[in-house]
Structure 1
Amino acid sequence: MKAPAEGGSLSVLQGTALTLAAVLGTGVISLPALAIDAAGPASLVAWAALLLISVPLAATFAALGARHPDGGGVSTYARLAFGERAATMVGWGFFLAIPIGAPVAAGFAASYVADAVGGGRTTEVVVTAAVIVVVAVMNWMGIQVSARVQLGIAAVIATLLLVAIVVSLPRVDVDNLTPFLTHGWSGVGAAAALLVWAFAGWEIVSSLSAEYRHPRRDIGRATATTLAVVTVLYLGIAFVTVAVLGGAAGRAPLADLLAGAFGDWARPLTTVIAALLTVGAINAYFAGASRLGASLAITGAAPRWLGSDIGDGRRTPRHALAFVAGLGLVVTVGEAVLGQPTDATLLVTTGTFALVYVVGTAAAVRLLPGGWPRVAAIVSFVASVGLVVLTGPAVLLPIATGLAGLCWTLRRPSRARVASAAEPEPHQGRDVGEAAYCAEG
């Protein structure tokens, strides 16, 4: 099927909202406190370092998305640069990481709800499952509906977080910044490994690149705007958490900050922020993951059922969406039965993100032209390798998942060959997966 001349239906503002939700996500809710536990005041160094890394990383994925807009995202870039097997491995690892990580993201908001209503573990599990269901329904209704909702969510989130920063500044206590390096540089490294979660998102938005009206123009604009907003909000929240709360920061630092400024009546407001951040982040990831799953199926790299509901016209890959949401609920229930916290899979998920960054940036080194795009790709690749090293043994699970996907594909060589034969040349800019389900409806 011939790909459409124009892109999809996302505007720059809608794309910015989706990107902001994916990158800002739930990290700002609880990670500042977790980073303080790991590194003390020096956690600010980890935040600043990852923000610096985000600049070339965001530029790299924006350049890839603009040149190769496709629902396969990083999997497509790996296919163009390294072949079908690499694409299958990274595609499987990333696709399955989304439902594994969804309970972590939803659980951050659930802890705020439990804090506000005085609920315990049962409340957290119920809220976690409810968030996954709500986001699945939003995506089921289509990308335009979820993008419009996302735009409103992004505006409210940015405003509320900015208020939290401003009202907390008068209560800054410089004594909370000393001693600065309380856990040594190894603590900073440990904090950085946790904070990868807060900076993941650039990679999943690449799976939405074909949904933009004008990918070559709009993706760069949306990325630049997102990067500026994220820098202000992340550094602001991280600083006031350290300088105002210090070692007393609990699981819900935003609640503590606003309650300190306005009184306990403000705690429910932080629950609203947490819920919106969570819904927004998981919405962006479910949107990208469903398109990734369908693209893998269409190219023969995943079970055909995942993409079998995609026909003519731009439609939501509901089979892939149902799989992602369903597995996310299974993981949530499984953790509850085993007595594990909802963030039990945090490092596994961040390890997957780091590996995806390694593959995506390595592909960018081969696919992007010389000059600043390739320099950004090289810097991003080196930084991504460092993040994988910091993550440690947790990266073994996504590697195993990728190998399982490769084994599955090798048992179906005929379909893989057909898909490869149908794939256009890299300069055409669109993969067969995108041509199959991203035609203008």
Structure 2
Amino acid sequence: MGKTTVEAPGFAKTLGLPQIVALYVGSVIGSGVLLIPGLAAEKAGPASILAWLVMSILVVPMAITMGLLSARYPSAGGVSTFVRNAYGDRFGNMTGWFFLLSVPMGAPILSVTGANYLGVLLHWGDTQVYAAAALMLIAVLSMNVLGMHVAARVQTIVVSLIISILILAVVAALPHASANNFVPFAPNGWLSVIQAAGLLFWCFIGWEAVTHLSEEFVDPAKNAIRGVLWSAGIVALLYFSVAMLTVATHSYGIGISAASLSVMIQLSLGPVGGWIVAVTALFICIAAANAYIGAASRIAYSLAQEKVAPRWFGALHPKYRTPIGGLLFLALCFAVVLGVLYVRWIDLSRLIELPNASFIATYIGGCLAGTRLLKDSRAGRIASWTSLLFTVGLYPFLGWSALYPVAIALLSLLWERRKKTEETV
């Protein structure tokens, strides 16, 4: 058993149940809702609905595992604290670095995605798109400097707008739905449904992010699990509704699947629908970036407290008591990543594979911790083992990007060895 993470008294308990739900929903519903329903339908046809149903069920144990662990071990360290308590400092630190080194790439990807939706409508060039992406990140960083209570209030408003717009898209598409669009049901065979299910996993990543904010929950023992259950229900319902109407209106196919939500809403609303989807995309990307930036800045603080990250990572704002050291680290990384994307040294589709891999590694660590820390809870045991088998089974299919967490683990071990050498000199 490792030592429990030492937390400073600077983080106030300001997040009630509505804010917790908003943060969870905002971190899970990302750009996937704009892309994946159409791509999954193109891959598996109407039978893709079965893949959505199965994934909506399988993701519940993952959400429950993270919720139960947050309730028992509320900490800025999030998943790394769970792993630390279960398997010791070395693996806890490693898991913390998995998450921290995902966000410097993940948040710029989100901001560029949101800016691109506006750019298409406004006929922007690359410079304008990347300037808008940078402004988006600056805004989210600024909210997090002022405090999570400010960021959480903004998140609640933004998530409410996202849910309203997605409901509007579904309702607007209902008059154009037809049972004929469900025939043939599995045109590409049943194997394609399994392949589609693998694609859908990326829509449900995000439960781990809010664990890093759990120390700021009001009554975490009660609200953490209530928050994930409400969020899981909302997320599953929204995804399934959008996917069902995408199929029912046949708003997918070669050349249009990546914009299926826009195609679907324009059936009733015309060009105005394109603007609605663009605004939705902007809100979605801001909400997800907000959740992840808030979480990553706190894991940076936690790692500094454990003395396995540079000391300045642990700096707190003298007035707002927010982790400005972690936010500064993220800001520097964002500038580098946006620059690399702008000069086209790597494209979004390739870059996104790296944070995806380290997020999966984070989940594996959290689920492993759950199998040990939740042994006294029947629901916890079932949820942890189900989630663990699912995530471990997925990992071999990540391809070359599976090496990214391995590289992070090696760097973490080298840092640990260096610190021990310094202490003995």
Bigger Cα displacement from structure 2, 399-408 vs 157-166 = 399-408
Aligned to 1:429: none
Residue by residue over 1:64-103, the C-alpha shift from the partner in whole angstroms, topping out at 9 and shown as x without a partner, is: 0000000001111111111111112211121010111122
Sort the Cα spacing of 1:386 and 1:135 in 2 relative to 1 into closer, same or farther, 3 A: same
Q: Which residue of 2 aligns with 1:306?
A: 313
Question: 1:88, 1:406 within 8 Å by CA — same for their partners in 2?
Answer: no
- Under a length normalisation based on structure 1, what TM-score does the superposition of the two structures give? 0.87
1:268 equivalent among 268, 275, 289: 275
Question: 2: CA distance between counterparts of 1:383 and 1:243?
Answer: 30
Matching residue within 340, 351, 360 for 1:345: 351
1:334 to 315, 335, 340: 340
| Cα 1:399–1:2 shift into 2, 3 Å | closer
CA distance in 1, matches of 2:161, 2:396: 36
Q: 1:364 aligns with which of 370, 376, 380?
A: 370
Does 1:209 pair with 2:177? no
Q: Which moved more, 1:310-319 or 1:210-219?
A: 310-319
**Equivalent pair of 2:145/2:320 in contact (CA under 8 Å):** no
**1:22 matched residue in structure 2:** 27
| Alignment partner of 1:83 out of 80, 88, 96 | 88
Return the alpha-carbon distance in structure 2 between the equivalents of residues 182 and 66 of structure 1.
45
Greater displacement, 317-326 / 388-397: 388-397
Per-residue CA deviations over 1:255-303 (Å, capped at 9, x if unaligned) read: 2222211111232121111111110111000001100111011101212
User: Deviation of residue 201 (structure 1)?
Assistant: 1.0
Do the aligned partners of 1:16 and 1:225 also contact (CA within 8 Å) in 2? yes
Structure 2 residue identity aligned to 1:409: E
C-alpha contact 2:79 2:95 (8 A) present in aligned 1: yes
Matched, 1:11 2:6: no
2:278 counterpart letter in structure 1? T
Provide, for residues 217-250 of structure 1, a one-character-per-residue CA deviation record: whole Å limited to 9, x for no partner. 1111211111111111110111222332131534
8 Å CA contact retained: 1:91, 1:402 = no
Kindly tell me: are residues 109 and 190 of structure 1, through their superposed partners in 2, closer, same or farther at Cα, counting changes over 3 Å?
farther
Q: Distance in 2 between matches of 1:2 and 1:338?
A: 41
Q: Distance in 2 between the 1:290 and 1:149 partners? A: 18
Cα distance in 2, alignment partners of residues 416 and 241 from structure 1: 60
Map of 2:409 onto structure 1? 402
The answer to which of 177-186 and 129-138 deviates more is 177-186
Give the 3 Å change call, closer, same or farther, for CA 125–196 of structure 1 in structure 2.
farther
Aligned with 1:246: secondary structure?
Answer: coil
Contact persistence 1:39–1:183 (CA under 8 A): yes
SS in 2 for 1:364: helix
- Matched residue, 1:322: 328
Supply the distance in 2 between the matched residues of 1:388 and 1:99 (Cα, whole angstroms).
21
Output the CA distance in 1 between the equivalents of 2:130 and 2:197. Answer: 27
Deviates more, 1:26-35 or 1:296-305: 26-35
Corresponding residue SS for 2:308:
coil
Report the Cα distance in structure 2 between the residues aligned to 1:46 and 1:123, rounded to whole angstroms. Answer: 38
Cα distance in 1 for partners of 2:395, 2:60 equals 18
* Distance in 1 of aligned mates of 2:221 and 2:246: 38
Alpha-carbon contact 1:203-1:357 (below 8 Å) kept: yes
Which residue of structure 1 aligns with residue 3 of structure 2? none
The reply on whether 1:281 has 2:288 as its aligned counterpart is yes
Q: Secondary structure at the match of 2:348?
A: coil
The answer as to 2:50 corresponding to 1:61 is no
- Conservation of the 8 A alpha-carbon contact between 1:29 and 1:253: yes
SS at match of 2:208: helix
* Deviates most, 48-57 or 182-191: 182-191
Which runs of structure 2 are paired with 1:203-282 in the superposition (5 Å)? 203-244=208-249, 245-247=251-253, 249-282=256-289
For the residue of structure 2 that corresponds to 1:343, the secondary structure is: helix
RMSD over aligned Cα atoms: 2.5
Note the C-alpha offset of 1:338. Answer: 2.4
1:349 alignment partner AA: P
CA distance, structure 1, for counterparts of residue 228 and residue 389 of structure 2: 21
Corresponding residue for residue 420 of structure 1: none
Alpha-carbon offset, residue 109 of structure 1 = 1.7
- Unmatched 5+ stretches in structure 1: 418-441
The residue type equivalent to 1:373 in the other structure is G
Residues 7 and 214, structure 1, Cα contact 8 Å, conserved in 2: no
- 1:93 aligned partner, one-letter code: F
2: CA distance, partners of 1:376 / 1:14: 24
For the 8 Å contact 1:59–1:373, the answer to whether it is kept is: yes
Q: CA deviation at 1:390?
A: 3.3
Instruction: Return closer, same or farther for 1:176/1:330 CA change in 2, 3 Å cut-off.
Output: farther
Secondary structure of 2:101's counterpart equals helix
When structure 1 is superposed on structure 2, of 46-55 and 9-18 the one drifting more is: 46-55
Unaligned runs of 5+ in 2: 1-5
Identity, in percent, stands at 35
Matching residue within 388, 410, 421 for 1:381: 388
